[in-house]
């Protein structure tokens, strides 16, 4: 491709090597939280059959922290905007009043039944292979995307729990009343099963692209450990050989801003702080008794 609409984009897979993170590096953020809308706009150039349709849920009021607003306002996108909260949905309708391009639904998206995404999208004129799907419901994103069968968006932007390390595959229970979130690694696994590749990672969102377009991006290594740069929400805990407890990274509970405590982790008493293989027979016996006592408490 020529005449790129942004600097630093590879013109073809044969272009000279660039950073694998070029999609998210130096990206302009307009209405989203961390540059998501800028990455989506960058990806437009690599969708030769773009149809000008997107879907976002939960869409809030369609303005605040919106990942689709820039597509709608600056690139004339048609959109299906889904928001379960009645008050926010009313604000959304008011913001886009009279705009025939916007199809709004006041529903909580589920992974089964009449509110599954397939069923909701079928109520609108959105094409089967629309351009962008944006998922942010604070918990059940994995189950909703996993259940999507009739539609295959070209690009999927989905929120992950940023406090979970890259290598952990965690999926929260399929329960709309549970708000735990899912790990980036779990989404990477699901995406591959559904024919997608990881293209960019923002602090709270991962962006995947249909595998048939991936080579156009010129990304050589799209492992989460390579594309993810912000790990500020992660707390790492580890123990010394002597049983001492150590904590690195974030020192508070994300979203709650409560300080983390050593209580519950610092389980080895001071007089036993020694590598067990170097303990005297007496200390080893004390350790065995202490271990039994803790198990009894639990």
Q: Supply the pLDDT for residue 16.
A: 56
Contacts of 9 by beta carbon, 8 Å cutoff, 6+ apart: 22, 42, 45
What is the pLDDT at residue 23? Answer: 96
Per-residue confidence at 258, pLDDT binned at 50, 70, 90?
confident
Q: Given the structure tokens 């351009």, which residue do they identify?
A: 131
CB atoms within 10 A of CB 263: 7
CATH topology of domain 36-227: Rossmann fold (3.40.50)
d(CA 111, CA 174) in angstroms, rounded, equals: 9
Helices (H), 24-171: 36-44, 69-75, 86-95, 117-121, 141-147
H or E stretch at 105: strand 102-105
Helix (H, G, I), strand (E, B) or coil at 148: coil
Residue 273 has pLDDT above 90, yes or no: no
What ranges do the domains of the chain cover? 36-227, 241-297
Q: Evaluate if residue 17 carries a pLDDT over 70.
A: no
Rounded CA-CA distance 96/73 in Å is: 11
Instruction: With beta carbons less than 8 A apart as the criterion, state whether 51 and 128 touch.
Output: no
* Residue that wins the pLDDT comparison between 198 and 3: 198
Measured between alpha carbons, how far is 167 from 151 in angstroms, rounded to an integer?
A: 29
- Convert the pLDDT of each residue in 90-112 to its tens digit: 999 999 998 999 999 999 999 99
Residues 207 and 199 sit within 8 Å (Cβ to Cβ): yes
Q: Are 160 and 166 in contact (CB under 8 A)?
A: no
Beta bridge partners of 238: 246
Cα dist from 295 to 27, 263, 271, 298, whole Å: 51, 17, 20, 5
Q: Residue 7: its pLDDT value, please?
A: 39
**In this prediction, what percent of the chain has a pLDDT beyond 70?**
92
11 has pLDDT over 70: no
**Structural element, H or E, at residue 252:** strand 252-253
- Cβ(76)–Cβ(53) below 8 Å: no
pTM: 0.86
| pLDDT average, residue stretch 30-43 | 93
Task: Show the tokens assigned to 13.
Answer: 């897979």
- Segment 85-92 mean pLDDT: 92
Phi, psi of 95 (to 5 degrees): -65, -35
104-157 pLDDT, tens digit per residue, is 999 999 999 999 999 999 999 999 999 999 999 989 999 999 999 999 999 999
Query: If pLDDT is split at 50, 70 and 90, which confidence band does 6 have?
Result: very low
Q: What is the pLDDT of residue 59?
A: 67
Any idea which residue has 């059959």 for tokens?
49
Distance, C-alpha 100 to centroid of its chain: 30
Q: Where are the alpha helices (DSSP H) in the chain?
A: 36-44, 69-75, 86-95, 117-121, 141-147, 184-193, 211-214, 224-227, 281-297
CB neighbours of 212 closer than 8 A, spacing ≥ 6? Answer: none
pLDDT single digits (tens) 44-82: 999 999 999 999 997 667 677 889 999 999 999 999 999
């Amino acid at each position: 491709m020529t005449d790129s609409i942004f600097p630093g984009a590879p013109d073809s897979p044969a272009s000279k090597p660039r950073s694998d993170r070029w999609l998210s590096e130096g990206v302009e953020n307009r209405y989203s939280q961390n540059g998501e809308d800028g990455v989506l706009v960058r990806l437009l150039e690599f969708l030769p059959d773009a149809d000008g349709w997107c879907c976002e849920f939960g869409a809030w009021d369609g303005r605040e922290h919106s990942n689709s607003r820039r597509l709608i306002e600056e690139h004339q996108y048609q959109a299906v905007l889904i928001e379960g909260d009645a008050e926010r949905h009313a604000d959304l309708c008011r913001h886009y009043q009279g705009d025939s391009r916007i199809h709004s639904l006041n529903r909580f998206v589920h992974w089964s039944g009449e509110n599954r995404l397939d069923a909701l999208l079928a109520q609108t004129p959105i094409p089967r292979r629309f351009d962008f799907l944006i998922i942010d419901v604070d918990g059940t994103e994995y189950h909703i995307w996993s259940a999507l069968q009739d539609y295959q968006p070209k690009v999927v932007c989905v929120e992950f729990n940023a406090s979970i390390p890259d290598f952990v595959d965690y999926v929260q229970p399929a329960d709309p009343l549970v708000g735990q979130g899912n790990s980036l690694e779990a989404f990477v696994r699901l995406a591959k099963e559904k024919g997608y590749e990881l293209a960019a990672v923002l602090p709270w969102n991962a962006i995947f692209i249909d595998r048939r377009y991936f080579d156009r991006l010129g990304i050589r290594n799209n492992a989460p450990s390579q594309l993810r740069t912000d790990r500020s929400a992660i707390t790492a805990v580890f123990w010394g050989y002597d049983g001492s407890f150590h904590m690195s990274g974030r020192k508070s509970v994300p979203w709650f801003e409560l300080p983390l405590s050593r209580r519950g982790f610092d389980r080895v008493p001071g007089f036993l702080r020694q590598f067990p293989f170097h303990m005297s027979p007496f200390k080893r016996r004390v350790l065995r008794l202490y271990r039994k006592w803790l198990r009894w408490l639990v």
